Amino acid sequence: MREAMIVIPKTDNSGRPLDALIDSALAAACDQFGGATAVPAEGIWRSPTNGRVYREPVIQLMIAVDDTAIPALRSLAAIIAREGEQESVYLRLPSGDVEFVEGVR
């Protein structure tokens, strides 16, 4: 097994808390993968459209999986992106490769 990670924003783009989404993602991780570790962190990124630097509180959802879990990881990240109204969500695969799973545009 190796570690995968999904970064979940703590608020949507309007500043509304995403506590229910985080709880749902934690429950899904327990159901699909047997468990996870949720670590508070801060995401920092530069917008490619306006050049502005954004800082936001996030949860790093770390999950021990094997490569057979990749479709389920991508699906969970897509749900988080869509329901959290995010342009994309950061997903680190067990290989260490990183993807940005798209949500709203």
Residue-wise pLDDT for 84-102, tens only, equals 999 899 999 999 999 999 9
Instruction: Report the distance separating Cα 32 and Cα 67, nearest Å.
Output: 14
Sign of CA dihedral 29, 58, 97, 101: positive
Q: What's the whole-number mean pLDDT along residues 33-48? A: 94
For the chain, what percent of residues have pLDDT higher than 70?
A: 98
SS3 78: helix
pLDDT at residue number 1: 95
pLDDT at residue number 87: 86
Reply yes or no on whether the pLDDT at 104 is more than 70.
no
Sign of CA dihedral 35, 40, 41, 47: positive
Strands 37-46 and 53-65: antiparallel
Total residues found in the chain within this entry? 105
Reply yes or no on whether the pLDDT at 105 is more than 70.
no
CATH topology for the 2-102 domain? Alpha-Beta Plaits (3.30.70)
pLDDT at residue number 47: 86
